[in-house]
Structure 1
């Protein structure tokens, strides 16, 4: 789907405020409400807008241990990757997982109630024989930046 400057303004606005009103969105986009709403629906149908979410500061609700974990698998067959990825997808405490190039296979972001709960999770992953050869744990001690809003104007050149 080819995007124009209006589409990018719509995306920027809903990314910053998923609860923006139709009228406010139309103003930010520089359109009247109906055409703006039609463009928004088109962006949703195309899958460019994948959903709307509330950003919850879980630390205001309960103490949490945030951990990054590097994982290297013993074998590198497609079936090994698929088995590990299915286990990751089914584990609620693993909030993000990236397959990466370089010296490790995956980087995981894990949110657990405390370090003991994290270790129990790791033990259960190892007990399930998912092919984990090595893992390294990095406990997050302070969040310096954790943005969910992307600067579209720096990532996507403005259409002519």
Structure 2
């Protein structure tokens, strides 16, 4: 799907404010409400908008530890990658898992009630024999920036 500048403005607006009204969205992007709504529906139907979510203030909900984990698998067959990915996808504590190039196979973002709970998670994954050869743990001590909006200006034409 080819995106024009108005589509990019719509995407930028809804990612910053998911609860924006149709009228306010139309004003923001410079369209009348009906054409704006039709474009928004087209973007949703094309799968460019994956959903609308509330952004929580997690530290106000409960204290927790954020941990980044580098994982290297013992073997590198497709079945090894599939087994590992299924296992971590099934764990709610694993907020994100990225397959990466370089010296490790995966980087995980994990949350746990505390470091002991994190260690129990890792011990469980090791006991499940999902192919982990080595892992390195990095405890997040302070969040500087996290999960900002996609900078739509990067995708605008020259």
TM-score range, shorter chain: over 0.9
2:146 is matched with which residue?
146
Indicate the RMSD between aligned Cα atoms, in angstroms: 0.9
Task: Give runs of aligned pairs for residues 26-105 of structure 1, distance below 5 A.
Answer: 26-105=26-105
Work out the CA distance in 2 between the residues paired with 1:24 and 1:157: 22
The total of aligned residue pairs comes to 158
2:117 is matched with which residue?
117
Deviations 1:5-63 (A, max 9, x none): 11011001001100000000000111110110010010011011111111111110111
Deviations 1:59-113 (A, max 9, x none): 1011110000000000000000000000011000000000000000000000101
Work out the CA distance in 1 between the residues paired with 2:38 and 2:156: 23
Contact 2:5 2:156 in 1 (8 A): no
1:157 aligns with 2:156: yes
Question: Which one is further off, 63-72 or 142-151?
Answer: 142-151
TM-score, normalization: structure 1?
0.97
1:18 aligns with 2:18: yes
> Which stretches of structure 1, 4 residues or longer, exceed 3 Å deviation after superposition?
none
Gapped regions of structure 1 (runs ≥ 5): none
